[in-house]
Amino acid sequence: MRQVFQDLSNGTTCLIDSPAPDLVSGKVVINTSASLISAGTERMLVDFGRASYLEKARQQPEKVKMVIEKIQTDGFFTTVDAVKSKLAQPLALGYCNVGVVRKVKDSAHFLKKGDRVVSNGPHADIVRVSKNLCARVPNNVSDEEASFTVVASIGLQGIRLAKPSLGEAFVVTGVGLIGLLTVQLLRAHGCRVLAIDFDDSKLALAAQFGAEVCNPGRGQDPVAAGMAFSRGNGVDGVIITASTKQSDPVTQAARMSRKRGRIVLVGVTGLELNRADFYEKELSFQVSCSYGPGRYDPSYEEQGIDYPLGFVRWTEQRNFEAVLDMMASGQLDVKPLITHRFEFEDAPKAYDLLTTDKSALGIILKYSSDVESRNIRSVSLPGAATIDPDKPVVGFIGAGNYASRMLIPAFKDAGAQLHSISTSGGVNGVIHGEKAGFSHATTDTAGMLANPEINTVAIVTRHNSHANFVASALDAGKHVFVEKPLAVNRADLECVEKAYRDKGEKAPLLMVGFNRRFAPQVQKMKSLLAPVSEPKSFIMTMNAGAIPADHWTQDVEVGGGRIIGEACHFIDLMRFLAGSEIVSVQARRMGDTPGVPVTEDKAAITLGFADGSFGTIHYLANGAASFPKERVEVFAAGKVLQLDNFRKLKGFGWSGFRKMNLWRQDKGQKACAQAFLSAIESGGSAPIAVSELFEVAAVTLDVVDQLRSQ
């Protein structure tokens, strides 16, 4: 398959070849026939990508603040690496797709293979989207016409929030693509419409659709025009579909509105408001969120859980269907909005046109390639090296943020032979696989596990998939490195333990990515503590920062919750520094507060060890971002060690040791990967005893059992 991406670092647009996406539950795989470039939104994205670093910073002051905070806690070099990595990740473009269903799961029962559908899929010749983000196209609506469905739904959602009624006077400010569609939809509601824009050609189209027009660029006063249009009463509502940094559209909307008028912002404008303009008229002002209820709700968009029609009449999908019905009836005419057509392979030329011709409206991409040629599950990447089977030959499952930024580079620096990278979507595998030097990218994970050339597998996927992949890799006789956690529940842990035991003496190496014990400063702490025979006391603080309650890591079924997903790092670290078996566990989470989502990411965990040592882990999501994210303190034999954020280590009372500071934060990822690969190559034992891995996993589950029973 091929997909359009933009390089955020320089703004260039390119097509990337990748394996066809795998079909997963609740999703639909579609062979694309046409897609629409959303002139306003995508022009803004391309312009942002082509801006200088300084201009990017000016456009996103909130991101600059985050960068400054990260420098204060993680250091300059670590932050620079993170920013460069972020800008180096290509951005998928497009969200207005039409095609034919190729594959469905049972959970997408209302769709079947061969259905012609619209979706919010990107510009790609194959897309995989949620079943709730698809709608069937009526027979009398062409592919080109149907490609306008999603952008029309954006305008429709703004209209639904404004609640127009027959005979009301409405203003549409900014009649680009969404604005012109909004004009028609308002007219279909029986409203009189005034269109405001600086472009005469767009106003001519608005007039063709039955609107009166006003061009401020010709000296016409929008407020006066609105008052005259409303016969001196003030307009009933204003829908702003303009894109500008200025606040003028909102100010003008307030001044032309009647008392208790409605203003809905669909586009992007400045929001420096005059309170008096709104106060005296008791105006309502609302920002519209994309194409309707369900947007950004993981349960709706990712899990495919629909809202009951009796309680939520109009969702994203139902808005799609309403727009298509309007097209089928002839009440919504999009043909005059088509200004350009390009073959999909010429997409970069289309984006060049988008940035140079501001009059461009509906730019259609046509997909004419052979459908079967798109559906390839594995592709070879450039620069493949000769494989030495006597050394670790690694296949990666997963190419998310942590895998691409930290783990893959760590394996590469440690000398791993990177064979294949498998992802369910395909594209990330190609992007990060080519950058790192993998030989192949695939969406056929089972085929990768069966590949005899690969002797080692690294698993960096969502947490609930870890145990199954680990067991499958062990069954296939592969050495396994799995990013924490090993398992999110006891059944998964038992599955892994059984798969390992079944291999007996021939069991491959099993490793969990507990990298912190390999950090240079932790290794120094371990060496200082080695001669200390008496029990030790530990205080470990994770200033984890808040994550929304609906984030996948907070989901007990998917991420396991943040204690299983993240605090396990410090359970392992304390186990390592204590050098003794964990014999007792106590845990307490913060009490519930009315109006605050219930999560387990504000908790204290106290561990007791067989040698008499004990320690407490404070995992807290309610601290300040400027405070160190991770602090480790050890009290032993009249001495203290304090480690802040894996950059600054201080010793108090230690003969010959006062401090060990690093220029760059080092949490041990490279050393962890190196130890694992060296053990494979030398035929030695695993860097972390498998009994400790299972012990830490079981203790972590004991902790969450206590927290969830409170």
Angle between helices 177-188 and 149-162 (to 10 degrees): 60
Q: Which residue carries 């206590």 as its tokens?
A: 706
| CATH number of the domain encompassing residue 29 | 3.90.180.10
**Whether residues 277 and 305 fall in one domain:** no
**Whether residues 533 and 631 fall in one domain:** yes
Residue 374 lies in a domain: no
Separation of alpha carbons 198 and 219, rounded Å: 10
If one counts the domains in the chain, the total is 4
| Other beta carbons less than 10 A from residue 310's beta carbon | 6
Q: Which of 704, 551, 686 is nearest to 619 (CA)?
A: 704
**Whether residues 572 and 615 fall in one domain:** yes
Domain hosting residue 270, numbered range: 151-287
Separation of alpha carbons 398 and 407, rounded Å: 11
CA-CA-CA-CA dihedral for 566, 569, 572, 577, to nearest 10: -140
Separation of alpha carbons 481 and 674, rounded Å: 12
Spell out the SS3 assignment of 615-637. Answer: EEEEEECCCCCCCCCEEEEEEEC
Separation of alpha carbons 249 and 235, rounded Å: 14
Spell out the SS3 assignment of 92-125. Answer: ECCCCEEEEEEEECHHHCCCCCCCEEEECCCCEC
Separation of alpha carbons 215 and 198, rounded Å: 5
**Whether residues 538 and 398 fall in one domain:** no
Residue 558 lies in a domain: yes
Q: Which of 624, 663, 638 is nearest to 543 (CA)?
A: 624
H/E element, 339: strand 338-343
Per the CB < 8 A criterion, the answer to whether 212 and 229 are in contact is yes
Radius of gyration for the alpha carbons in the chain, expressed in angstroms and rounded: 29
Cα–Cα distance list, 86 to 11, 52, 90, 91 (Å): 14, 15, 9, 10
Amino acid of residue 416 = A
Residue 372 lies in a domain: no
| CATH number of the domain encompassing residue 554 | 3.30.360.10
Per the CB < 8 A criterion, the answer to whether 405 and 85 are in contact is yes
Angle between helices 347-356 and 39-50 (to 10 degrees): 90
**Whether residues 536 and 442 fall in one domain:** no
Residue 593 lies in a domain: yes
The partner residues of 338 in beta bridges, in order of sequence, read: 362
Cα–Cα distance list, 663 to 516, 626, 648, 656, 672 (Å): 17, 18, 9, 22, 20
- Residue 658 pLDDT: 96
Separation of alpha carbons 398 and 393, rounded Å: 16
Q: Identify the three-state secondary structure at position 133.
A: helix
Domain boundary among 287, 314, 335: 287
Residue 12 tokens read as: 């260039």
**Whether residues 353 and 490 fall in one domain:** no
Per the CB < 8 A criterion, the answer to whether 36 and 151 are in contact is yes
- Residue 657 pLDDT: 96
Domain boundary among 480, 508, 536: 508
**Whether residues 359 and 300 fall in one domain:** yes
**Whether residues 72 and 175 fall in one domain:** no
* Model confidence, pTM: 0.86
Q: What does the buried/exposed string (b/e) look like for 89-99 if buried means 16 or more CB atoms within 10 Å of the residue's CB?
A: bbbbbbbbbbb
The partner residues of 286 in beta bridges, in order of sequence, read: 264
Q: Which of 382, 372, 377 is nearest to 451 (CA)?
A: 377
Residue 525 lies in a domain: yes
Residue 256 tokens read as: 């032309």
| CATH number of the domain encompassing residue 240 | 3.40.50.720
Separation of alpha carbons 41 and 291, rounded Å: 14
H/E element, 612: none
Residue 579 lies in a domain: yes
Cα–Cα distance list, 298 to 86, 122, 269, 280 (Å): 23, 18, 27, 40
- Residue 476 pLDDT: 96
Q: Measured in Å, how far apart are the chain's first and last C-alpha atoms?
A: 50
Separation of alpha carbons 648 and 336, rounded Å: 64
Q: Identify the three-state secondary structure at position 272.
A: coil
Q: Which residue carries 């989901």 as its tokens?
A: 555
**Whether residues 161 and 139 fall in one domain:** no
Residue 381 lies in a domain: no
Domain boundary among 265, 287, 309: 287
Per-block average pLDDT, block size 10, for the chain (710 residues)?
Answer: 84 88 90 92 68 59 62 61 62 93 77 95 95 96 97 97 97 96 97 97 97 96 97 97 91 96 94 89 94 90 90 96 97 96 94 86 94 90 79 95 92 94 93 92 95 96 96 97 96 97 93 97 97 96 90 90 96 98 96 76 96 97 89 97 96 95 94 97 94 98 94
Task: Work out whether the CA dihedral 524, 528, 531, 537 comes out positive or negative.
Answer: negative
Residue 378 lies in a domain: no
**Whether residues 538 and 645 fall in one domain:** yes
Per the CB < 8 A criterion, the answer to whether 288 and 295 are in contact is no
Separation of alpha carbons 336 and 183, rounded Å: 14
- Residue 87 pLDDT: 57
Separation of alpha carbons 701 and 710, rounded Å: 15
Separation of alpha carbons 658 and 323, rounded Å: 70
**Whether residues 544 and 665 fall in one domain:** yes
Phi, psi values for residue 360, rounded to 5°: -65, 135
**Whether residues 395 and 475 fall in one domain:** yes
- Residue 570 pLDDT: 97
Spell out the SS3 assignment of 156-194. Answer: HHHHHHHCCCCCCEEEEECCCHHHHHHHHHHHHCCCEEE
